[in-house]
Structure 1
Amino acid sequence: MTSPGEWRAAAAAAPQVVDFQRDVVCLLGLPLDTVDLAGAVHAVRSAAFTNKTCMIATPNLNFLVGALDDPAFRDSVTHADMSLADGMPLVWLARLLGLPLRERVAGADLFEALDRHLGPPLSVFFFGGPDGAAQAACERVNASSRGLRCAGFDSPGFGSIAEMSGAERIARINASGAQFLVAALGAKKGQAWLEHNRAKLAVPVRCHLGAVVNFAAGTVRRAPRLLQRFGLEWLWRVVEEPSLWRRYAGDGAVLLRLLVTRVLPLALVRRPSHSALAAATVAVQLAGDTCTLTLTGAWARSNLQPLRQALAQAVDAGAPRLCCVLREVTHIDSAFVGLLTIAPRAFPLGMTLVDAPARVARHLRWHGAGYLMRPARGAHA
């Protein structure tokens, strides 16, 4: 288990850099980038070859369920530079809500696409997995891969985050010259380890891809494409790893509850008119350590550019705290909420949403972003 202290240390290490132009939507509290597999491959290779830090999260249903009552785990996803819809249940929910997710982009699919790429190979470092798996994955990649070259591996065992983050271990990863770090420590622990070492790692692209090490090592077979296409990969994994059935059963029960209490109510929300969207405004005011954004009107994916610019303006002004006043807001959608879920890490003293009308507040809770509505502590007049 990851201790609260380790999570706090991980959060404190995160740099305050946010791309407010990302096209993201919020699904039950987690931001998801509206990118397809080809776009994800391009983003990874671009970051790797320009040495630009790119933390990738791959939320699936288990991530979504785990983030509901674990704020630090949720933050590890909102802190990512790219968040990919790894599980078909997320894609189905997105389609039900009319969200513009193009396709499922599983972490294993991303790895396989990078492995097949015909361009200059990326160097990869495997960290974690069962005993011997990382070494086997490294040997198999170097024996057969076209798009990847293994620069090294490490099997840290089952210690704490701190024990897995010693200076010698991090130095060995950095000295490998790897461009892509694949961690496999279990979702929560892997995310926490990446957050904890964010500022120490020199590897530009980092991602927790738990099952990928086993797939690459050949110790676990991935489901046939037909089962993947119909969203039945979970059934294949239960056959391969029977201990997973309890997790899948529990996650499925939570999904049914969320479907009734949040997803279906959101699916019935009426869309705003073009005139309501055109009338939306955002005013920026700096006072002390706080930048206040006062929003009016209806907000949706089609009219977010003024808000994106206002958020960037607040960062450029050096304001450590952001307050968004929603008193006159009449409508929000998943893209509006998604943008606000990735914004807080740009402001060291935090971000709050205040004065939300009852209807807007209800929609924020349905989107899983009610946690953003905290007391403003005098942040606005």
Structure 2
Amino acid sequence: MTQNNAYPISSESLTSTLEFPRAVPAVRLPDFNRDVFCILGLPFDRVNLADAGRITRAAVERRQRCFLSTPNLNFAIACMEDEQFRLSVIQSDLSVADGMPLIWIARATGLPINERVAGSSLFQSLRHAVLPAGAQPMRIYFFGGPPGVAQTASEKLNASPSAMTAVGFDSPGFGTIEEMSDADTLDRINTSGADFLVVALGAKKGQAWIQHNLSRLRVPLVSHLGAVVNFVAGTVSRAPVWAQKTGLEWLWRIKEEPKLWRRYWADGVGLLTLLVDKIIPLALAARRGRPDISHFDAAVMQVHEDGGDCVMTLSGALGEPNIVRLRDVLPAAARSGRPMVLDCSGLSHIDSAALASLMLLYGACRAAGRPWAVLGINPGVRRQFELHCAQYLLQALA
């Protein structure tokens, strides 16, 4: 059963000055200047909680699209088997590590991502921010959650002063993505004037619903934050800070929602497998050191058109020492409408930073329906792709 309402704003001054935003463009090139790193086959931005707060607030202020993804370990493992789920993260505008196991993996493999940014923590940070004089609260629309929970969350959010106000909610039930994407539903969201659409449909379904509707939404900030609606409504209590920081939040979540034990058990088994197959070998490789800086200095990164294809030639060592050079050539490759071919016959080394940047290009090509192929990968470099769980980048797509 569907429940919805355009939730009344309690502040008369806000109601009188509310202007519904213009449409937010959904199709555009990725920001190749993002400081991203690959963990378990997904790109993660090197940001802390304060950084994520600044980025999301700026998106709201500028009416600039920001599709925020918050992968945790369960999310990352599921993405390995689900191409579309993985693509939803790759095509996000901001991807933060919402899980201590991901931080531990980053530390073990020498990556500079050292702070967990939980979606619920980010929401709370935005909620309790100090508003500048004359600034309006961020307008929130809750979409999803168990029956009645989105309404309760809206009421509780508006019951006390904060930097947020609820302007609408929907409890769409358990229909298909298409059934939850009818014109009336999207019109309610768009005409609410919301700044931040909080989706709670289950991670896979929520990400898929966002991707399905992003081009029709006029809300600048959109994210699937499944637990947030329950936390705000008070139907589920969030773990204490000590549990969040020590990686024991899963025990608290099981206490609050016993049915989650199966998910966490599967995550634990999956993590053990990844430790043996990927993480430990990658950590050992990181400790052996990367190539000499001369290999990065001599690297070649060029884009040209050849026989109807857009060809990007990559040779030498690619990674953090020359990542700026790689980022500089990616926009030209993304703007081309031709099939994308990566010639890696001269590539000798690739690290997490370079892989994550290539993922952004891959996501742009997939969004544009462009064929993708990688040529000339030697066994050593192929192994590097595999250890980073990024071997899907090597698969040719028509």
Place the TM-score, normalised by the shorter chain, in its bin: over 0.9
| Deviation digits for residues 6-31 of structure 1 (CA, Å, limit 9, x no counterpart) | xxxxxxx9735211111100111111
Question: Are 2:106 and 2:114, in contact at CA under 8 Å, matched by a contact in 1?
Answer: no
Matched, 1:67 2:79: yes
Task: State the one-letter code of the partner of 2:77.
Answer: V
| 1:254 pairs with one of 266, 270, 284 | 270
Task: State the one-letter code of the partner of 1:42.
Answer: R
| Deviation digits for residues 236-256 of structure 1 (CA, Å, limit 9, x no counterpart) | 000000000000001110111
| TM-superposed deviation, 1:277 | 1.4
Task: State the one-letter code of the partner of 2:377.
Answer: A
Matched, 1:310 2:329: yes
Task: State the one-letter code of the partner of 1:230.
Answer: T
Q: Cα RMSD (Å) of the superposition?
A: 1.5
| 1:146 pairs with one of 141, 157, 162 | 162
Structural mapping, 1:100-115, within 5 Å: 100-115=112-127
| 2:180 pairs with one of 159, 164, 167 | 164
Deviating more after overlay: 195-204 vs 335-344: 335-344
Question: SS of the counterpart of 1:222?
Answer: coil
| Deviation digits for residues 209-247 of structure 1 (CA, Å, limit 9, x no counterpart) | 000000000110000111111111110000000000000
Residue of structure 2 in register with 1:286 after alignment: 305
| 1:274 pairs with one of 293, 306, 328 | 293
Q: Distance in 1 between matches of 2:170 and 2:391?
A: 39
Question: Are 1:14 and 1:195, in contact at CA under 8 Å, matched by a contact in 2?
Answer: no
Residue of structure 2 in register with 1:356 after alignment: 377
Residue of structure 2 in register with 1:225 after alignment: 241
Q: Distance in 2 between matches of 1:255 and 1:374?
A: 25
Question: SS of the counterpart of 2:215?
Answer: coil
Task: State the one-letter code of the partner of 1:369.
Answer: A
Matched, 1:55 2:67: yes
| TM-superposed deviation, 1:288 | 4.7
Q: Distance in 1 between matches of 2:214 and 2:395?
A: 27
Matched, 1:182 2:198: yes
| Deviation digits for residues 149-188 of structure 1 (CA, Å, limit 9, x no counterpart) | 1111110000000000000000000000001000000000
Q: Distance in 2 between matches of 1:376 and 1:192?
A: 21
Question: Are 1:223 and 1:237, in contact at CA under 8 Å, matched by a contact in 2?
Answer: yes
Residue of structure 2 in register with 1:323 after alignment: 341
Deviating more after overlay: 364-373 vs 139-148: 139-148
| TM-superposed deviation, 1:145 | 4.2
Structural mapping, 1:192-231, within 5 Å: 192-231=208-247
| Deviation digits for residues 262-297 of structure 1 (CA, Å, limit 9, x no counterpart) | 111111223111111111111221135421111111
Question: SS of the counterpart of 2:217?
Answer: coil
| TM-superposed deviation, 1:80 | 0.4
| TM-superposed deviation, 1:351 | 3.0
Matched, 1:244 2:265: no
Q: Distance in 2 between matches of 1:275 and 1:55?
A: 38
Question: Are 1:323 and 1:376, in contact at CA under 8 Å, matched by a contact in 2?
Answer: no
| TM-superposed deviation, 1:321 | 2.4
Q: Distance in 2 between matches of 1:264 and 1:129?
A: 38
| TM-superposed deviation, 1:65 | 1.2
Question: SS of the counterpart of 2:276?
Answer: helix
| TM-superposed deviation, 1:375 | 3.8
Residue of structure 1 in register with 2:4 after alignment: none
| TM-superposed deviation, 1:68 | 1.2
Residue of structure 2 in register with 1:342 after alignment: 360
Residues 289, 53 of structure 1: CA spacing in aligned structure 2 closer, same or farther, 3 A cutoff? farther
| TM-superposed deviation, 1:303 | 0.7
Residue of structure 2 in register with 1:235 after alignment: 251
Question: SS of the counterpart of 2:97?
Answer: coil
Question: Are 1:354 and 1:376, in contact at CA under 8 Å, matched by a contact in 2?
Answer: no
Question: Are 2:26 and 2:65, in contact at CA under 8 Å, matched by a contact in 1?
Answer: no
Q: Distance in 1 between matches of 2:52 and 2:302?
A: 34
Question: Are 2:371 and 2:397, in contact at CA under 8 Å, matched by a contact in 1?
Answer: no
Q: How many residue pairs were aligned?
A: 364
Matched, 1:128 2:144: yes
Question: SS of the counterpart of 1:286?
Answer: strand
Question: Are 2:200 and 2:206, in contact at CA under 8 Å, matched by a contact in 1?
Answer: yes
Question: Are 1:353 and 1:376, in contact at CA under 8 Å, matched by a contact in 2?
Answer: no
Matched, 1:370 2:386: no
For normalisation by structure 1, the TM-score amounts to 0.93
Question: Are 1:344 and 1:350, in contact at CA under 8 Å, matched by a contact in 2?
Answer: no
Q: Distance in 1 between matches of 2:320 and 2:281?
A: 19
| Deviation digits for residues 31-88 of structure 1 (CA, Å, limit 9, x no counterpart) | 1100110010000000011110100100001101111111111111111000010011
Q: Distance in 2 between matches of 1:328 and 1:59?
A: 33
Residue of structure 1 in register with 2:3 after alignment: none
Question: Are 2:342 and 2:374, in contact at CA under 8 Å, matched by a contact in 1?
Answer: yes
Q: Distance in 1 between matches of 2:30 and 2:307?
A: 22
Task: State the one-letter code of the partner of 2:390.
Answer: A
Runs of 4+ displaced beyond 4 Å: none
| Deviation digits for residues 89-128 of structure 1 (CA, Å, limit 9, x no counterpart) | 1011111011111300000000000001112321110000
Deviating more after overlay: 277-286 vs 327-336: 277-286
Residues 164, 29 of structure 1: CA spacing in aligned structure 2 closer, same or farther, 3 A cutoff? same
